[in-house]
Amino acid sequence: MQDHLPQVRARSLLAIAILLAIIFAGAAIVVAQTRDLRSIAMREGVLVIYSATDENEASDLLRAFSARYPFIKVDYRSLSARDVYDWFRREADGGRNVADVVINSAMDLQIKLVNDRYAQAYRSTESDHLPDWAVWKDQAYAVSAEPIVMGYNPRLLTRDAVPTSHDELATILHRTPALAGRIGSYDPERSPTGYLYVSQDIQVDSDAWDLIAAVGRARPQLFQSSKDMIEQVSSAKLSLAYNIIGSYAFERAARDPNFKVVVPRDYVLMMSRVALIAREAPHPASAKLFLDFMLSREGQSLLEKHHMSPVRLDMAPENKVLAGTNVREVRVGPALMAAIDTMTFERFVRKWREAIGESAPADNQI
C-alpha cells in the first residue's frame, strides 16, 4: 500500500497544478480581454445608456465607472420603462442607433428585444459568477435582484390592519371599507413593469384574481412608477401601495418614519433590472466595459448601496429581511414573452377592467 503513496501524491500534485494552470490561464484571458476593450473604448470616448433606473439610484455606480475609465463620457438617460423600450426600438428601426446599453425593469420587454434581434451577444468576464436564471443567450443579463413588496403609512394603518401576505391583503380589503380609494397599484395597461408583476402573480398564485378583484373593489389609484406610489403613501394621500419595487421601498423606509415595508410571507417575487448591449451599439467596447463593471463585485456593491441586491453567486445580500421567505425569482428568458403576446394581453385587459369596474377599449397594446 505504501509503495503506491508516492504515485498518489504525484497524481494529486499534478491535478492541483493543472487546476491552477487553468485558473491562471482564465484570469490572463480576462485581463487581456479587458485590456483590448479598454484600448478600443479610448478611441470611442462615449457611452450612451437608456435606463428605467433613476439616475440618483445609479449615481455611485456611474461615478465609480467614470473614475476607472475617465476617457469614456457617460450619457445616462433616465426614462420610464415604456419609453426605454419605445425610444430604443424606434431609433433602431429608423437606422438611427443612439443607445449602447439598455437597462429596464420591464424584463419581458428586454427579452422581446433580444428575441427580435436588437441585442448583441457578449459573454461577460463576470458570467461565471452569475446564476443560470440571470443570463439568457449571453445577451440579456440580470444586474440586480429586488423583491416586490407592499408599503404602508404607519400613521394610517394599525398593526392588525397591515397585511402580511397577498391573501391577507385581499381579506383586509374586503373587511375595511375605509381603505376605498386609498390603495395604490401599478396601472398594468400603461406600465409594462406593472403588467409584468401582475402577470407573474397570476402564474404563481392561483388566487391572484381574487386579490385583483378585491383591489378593484377598493377603487385603487393607479400609477406608472413605484416612486410615485411611495411618495403618496408617505404624504398620507394613500394608506397602502401594492406591488412596488423593493429597492425604492427599502431606501425610503430607511429615512422616512411615515413609510414602512411589508415583505409578503406567502411568496415574494424577485425581479431584476435587465441589461443588454444594442446590436448596432455605436460604442460597443465601452458598452462591454460598463456591463462587466456593473456585474463585478465592486459594481454590485455600489448598486446594493441603493438596495438593489447583488445577483452574483459569491455575494450574499446585506438585506436580511428575505431570510426564510418563499422567494420566486423571475427567470431571465423566453418564458417572459408569453404574457406580452397581443391576444394574451387583450384578454388580461378585459378581465382587469372587469375587476376594477371599467370597460376595456379595443385597441390596447403592450
Question: Do the beta carbons of residue 201 and residue 166 sit within 8 Å?
Answer: yes
pLDDT in tens, 164-173: 999 999 999 9
Secondary structure, 3-state, 137-164: CCCEEECCEEEEEEEECCCCCCHHHCCC
The pLDDT score that the predictor gives to residue 6 is: 58
* Closest C-alpha to 118, from 292, 333, 280, 332: 280
Rounded percentage of the chain residues whose pLDDT exceeds 70: 88
pLDDT in tens, 150-204: 999 999 998 889 999 999 999 999 888 889 999 999 999 999 999 999 999 999 9
- C-alpha to C-alpha distance for 140 and 134, rounded to whole angstroms: 8
Location of C-alpha cell 438596495: 307
pLDDT in tens, 261-313: 999 999 999 999 999 999 999 999 999 999 999 999 999 999 999 999 999 99
Structural domain boundaries in the chain: 44-145+272-304, 147-271+333-355
The pLDDT score that the predictor gives to residue 248 is: 95
Residue 366 has pLDDT above 50, yes or no: no
Nine-digit cell at 293?
Answer: 463593471
Superfamily of domain 147-271+333-355: Periplasmic binding protein-like II (3.40.190.10)
Residue 138 has pLDDT above 70, yes or no: yes
Q: How far apart are the first and last CA of the chain?
A: 71
Q: Which fold has domain 44-145+272-304?
A: D-Maltodextrin-Binding Protein; domain 2 (3.40.190)
pTM of the model: 0.85
Where b means 16+ CB within 10 Å and e means fewer, 269-278 reads bbbbbbbbbb
Residue/partner pairs of 350-357 with CB below 8 Å, 24 or more apart: 351/209, 352/188, 352/189, 352/198, 352/212, 352/216, 355/209, 355/212, 355/213, 355/215, 355/216, 356/215, 356/216, 356/219, 356/220, 357/216, 357/217, 357/219
Taking the CB of residue 4, how many other CB atoms lie within 10 A of it?
8
Q: What are φ and ψ of residue 261, in 5° steps?
A: -115, 140
pLDDT in tens, 44-67: 999 999 999 999 999 999 999 999
pLDDT in tens, 301-345: 999 999 999 999 999 776 677 777 899 999 999 999 988 889 999
The single-letter DSSP state of residue 235 is T
